[in-house]
Amino acid sequence: MKQQEKGALYRIAGPIVVATGLHARMYDVVRVGNEKLMGEVIQIEGEKIVIQVYEDTSGIRPGEPVINTGEPLKVELGPGLLTNIYDGIQRPLPVLIRQMGDFITRGVDAPGLDPGKKWKFTARVKKGQHVKGGAILGEVQETETMIHYVMLPPDKEGKVEDISSGSYTVEEVIGKLDNGHEMRLKQHWPVRRPRPVGRKLKPEAPLVTGQRVFDSLFPLAKGGVAAIPGPFGAGKTVSQQQLAKWSDADIIVYVGCGERGNEMTEVLTEFPELIDPKTGKALMNRTVLIANTSNMPVAAREASIYTGVTIAEYFRDMGYSVALMADSTSRWAEAMREISSRLEEMPGEEGYPAYLSTRLAQFYERAGRVIPLSAEKEGSVSIIGAVSPPGGDFSEPVTQSTLRVTKVFWALDAKLAQRRHFPSINWLTSYSLYRDTLDPWFRKNVAEDWPALVNEMMGILQEEEKLLEIVQLVGSDGLPDRQQVTLEVARLIREVLLQQNAFHEIDTYSEPKKTYLIMQTVKHYAGRAYKALEGGKKLQDILRIPSKDTFAEVKFTREYEGFIRDIQKRMDAELGR
């Protein structure tokens, strides 16, 4: 720790304060006022140091001391991250509650990792072995289901002079290098600096989400980035929570950034109760929650995104696949706008700072599929950022800046939500630029004709949109029989494939095989219906076959393969082979 230097408060404007008599560098962490509120240097103007404070500044006065720690904002990384719930600057909320009850008072501090808890460490390197930055030194069984790999910090290197297995706290020395560096279970890392990697890889495997509309029409690659914008009430938070619960990532980092307190409370109370479908144990065993609600100080909201992505990168470096949910980046951008206005910077579009696009790009660029420095196995960070455009206007700056850097756009639609179509993803405006890259994976792991089926489903939905414009003019009876069948096939796609009940114990998750069989059955019905029409069967008889109406029950059926075989046989019988 560097020598701490003292200055004095000169000016206070909400979360932005100015200090004098202080020598500081950009992004140094400082302690402000008599209560030692945590802050960060964001601007230097000659003798004046501009600081954003992560806590409420009401009541502090000019003249109070300001202490520079000489260190940037860092997070503690080590055993104890999983199952934990943090605020935006990595203070564990359960610890804060024990210290002061339900309301967090100012100036309180708590270490990110429990300094008193002992962990059983098993060393994997030996005395005399040369280790480079990022090397795995040993492992700790952090939770019932997850092994925590203890790594050498990326910026250290040397020959192991001493290391031993045993029970240690995160503070205790587990070994030494020949250059004098003491190894511990934990390490610190500045949140604004991306952790280095061996090399980046192409995203070639999907993040399987268990949500049919995402996995089939708009897949996201592991190590990819997605934006999920939508107006109030369209289902952003539920969609994010579904992705956190069911995606096939090894580790989940959920950042509630500026969301309403009651929504975040639901997450905090619901997640500890959830069972992981992979292991049958608690889902929290592989989850880190960062809660920064809309009534918390705006500066900490800005920091929460960086805290979350640094923790995600740390688990990626162990060789895990990590999914980071940021809900929502709009609130983060609003925090930047508020701080920018207090700094009296020249505003950009809609008052946002001119560097909004750069900051968003820097955040999303930290996603990726990589070979870590340890080079033992590949890891990835997939980032899914929710955006809350005012009034659902996708032309506003945050949505547009996000679209420039993300490759998947899951557009939530208020009209679909009003019609109780959930998830309310608009299939005409959404897109995924990973489709071609991921097709070989789906061909190999699900079915050879998966890409062709997906294209067919999209083609029918696009044709439906054109036909509906004609229907509004002449009514559906004015359409030719074949086009009326197309409308019925499109209805099946919408109601069986795209709609999914997040609160139903079976329909909440749909594995790729089930999604594939649903698409195949829709195609089967379409083929039989067109053939029956050509064979002279009446349109009404084709549209009213009982098996088609029973088909929707597949969503709520566990033994879906037998059910679908039966439905296809009944369709054959009712429509004629």
Express each pLDDT in 128-163 by its tens digit: 999 999 999 999 999 998 999 999 999 999 999 999
- Which has more confidence, 107 or 500? 500
Q: What's the confidence (pLDDT) of residue 475?
A: 83
Q: What's the confidence (pLDDT) of residue 103?
A: 66
Q: What's the confidence (pLDDT) of residue 51?
A: 94
Task: Answer whether CATH 2.40.30.20 is correct for domain 5-72.
Answer: yes
Express each pLDDT in 382-428 by its tens digit: 999 999 898 888 999 999 999 999 999 999 999 999 999 999 999 99
Look up residue 396 and give its DSSP letter. S
The span from the first CA to the last CA of the chain, in angstroms, equals 79
**What DSSP line would sit under 274-332, residue for residue?**
PBPTTTSSBGGGGEEEEEE-TTS-HHHHHHHHHHHHHHHHHHHHTT-EEEEEEETHHHH
Rounded to the nearest 5 percent, the helix, strand and coil shares of the chain are: 40, 25, 40
Angle at 366 between CA 309 and CA 287, to 5 degrees: 30
Q: Is the peptide bond before 328 cis (omega within 30 degrees of 0)?
A: yes
Q: Of 307-311, 416-420, 473-477, 490-494, where does mean pLDDT reach its minimum?
A: 473-477
Mean pLDDT, range 477-500, rounded to an integer: 94
Q: What's the confidence (pLDDT) of residue 96?
A: 81
Nearest to 212 by CA among 518, 429, 529: 518
Mean pLDDT, range 431-449, rounded to an integer: 96
Task: Answer whether CATH 1.10.1140.10 is correct for domain 450-575.
Answer: yes
Which sign does the torsion angle of CA 17, 19, 23, 29 carry?
A: negative
User: Is the predicted pLDDT of residue 484 greater than 80, yes or no?
Assistant: yes
Retrieve residue 20's tokens: 């004098």
Q: What are phi and psi of 531, to 5 degrees?
A: -65, -40
User: How many whole angstroms separate alpha carbon 157 and alpha carbon 118?
Assistant: 26
The answer to whether 65 touches 7, Cβ cutoff 8 Å, is yes
- Mean residue pLDDT across the chain: 91
User: How many whole angstroms separate alpha carbon 302 and alpha carbon 4?
Assistant: 25
CATH architecture of 77-190: Beta Barrel (2.40)
User: How many whole angstroms separate alpha carbon 247 and alpha carbon 241?
Assistant: 10
User: Is the predicted pLDDT of residue 3 greater than 80, yes or no?
Assistant: no
Neighbours of 95 (CB within 10 A): 18
Tell me the pLDDT band of 1, cut-offs 50, 70 and 90: very low
User: Is the predicted pLDDT of residue 193 greater than 80, yes or no?
Assistant: yes
Retrieve residue 88's tokens: 């935006």
User: How many whole angstroms separate alpha carbon 111 and alpha carbon 91?
Assistant: 6
Q: Quick one: three-class SS letters along 173-242?
A: EEEEECCCCEEECCEEEECCCCCCCCEEECCCCECCCCCHHHHHHCCCECCCEEEEECCCCCCHHHHHHH
User: How many whole angstroms separate alpha carbon 474 and alpha carbon 464?
Assistant: 15
User: How many whole angstroms separate alpha carbon 529 and alpha carbon 489?
Assistant: 9
User: Is the predicted pLDDT of residue 270 greater than 80, yes or no?
Assistant: no
User: Is the predicted pLDDT of residue 491 greater than 50, yes or no?
Assistant: yes
Residue type for 466, please? K
Pairing of strands 136-141, 147-151: antiparallel
Tell me the pLDDT band of 117, cut-offs 50, 70 and 90: very high
Q: Which residues make Cβ contacts (< 8 Å) with residue 217, sequence separation at least 6?
A: 427, 430, 432, 454, 457, 458, 498
Tell me the pLDDT band of 266, cut-offs 50, 70 and 90: confident
The answer to whether 31 touches 67, Cβ cutoff 8 Å, is yes
User: How many whole angstroms separate alpha carbon 519 and alpha carbon 49?
Assistant: 61
Q: Is the peptide bond before 423 cis (omega within 30 degrees of 0)?
A: yes
Q: What's the confidence (pLDDT) of residue 101?
A: 67
User: How many whole angstroms separate alpha carbon 265 and alpha carbon 539?
Assistant: 52
Mean pLDDT, range 204-220, rounded to an integer: 96
Mean pLDDT, range 229-237, rounded to an integer: 85
Neighbours of 248 (CB within 10 A): 17
The answer to whether 554 touches 496, Cβ cutoff 8 Å, is yes
Q: What's the confidence (pLDDT) of residue 149?
A: 96
User: Is the predicted pLDDT of residue 577 greater than 70, yes or no?
Assistant: no
348-376 b/e with 16+ CB inside 10 Å = b? eeeebbeebbebbeebbebbbbbbbbbee
Q: Which residues make Cβ contacts (< 8 Å) with residue 472, sequence separation at least 6?
A: none
Q: What's the confidence (pLDDT) of residue 102?
A: 66
| Domain boundaries defined on the chain | 5-72, 77-190, 199-427, 450-575
User: How many whole angstroms separate alpha carbon 92 and alpha carbon 382?
Assistant: 24
User: How many whole angstroms separate alpha carbon 380 and alpha carbon 189?
Assistant: 18
Q: Which pTM was predicted?
A: 0.93
Mean pLDDT, range 25-48, rounded to an integer: 92
Express each pLDDT in 281-331 by its tens digit: 888 889 999 988 777 777 788 889 999 999 999 999 999 999 999 988 998
**What CATH code would you report for 199-427?**
3.40.50.300
Q: What's the confidence (pLDDT) of residue 178?
A: 92
Q: Which long-range contacts (CB under 8 A, 24 or more apart) does 101-108 make?
A: 106/35, 106/37, 106/55, 106/56, 107/35, 107/36, 107/37, 107/55
User: How many whole angstroms separate alpha carbon 119 and alpha carbon 117?
Assistant: 7
Tell me the pLDDT band of 226, cut-offs 50, 70 and 90: very high
Residue reference for tokens 């090399």:
199
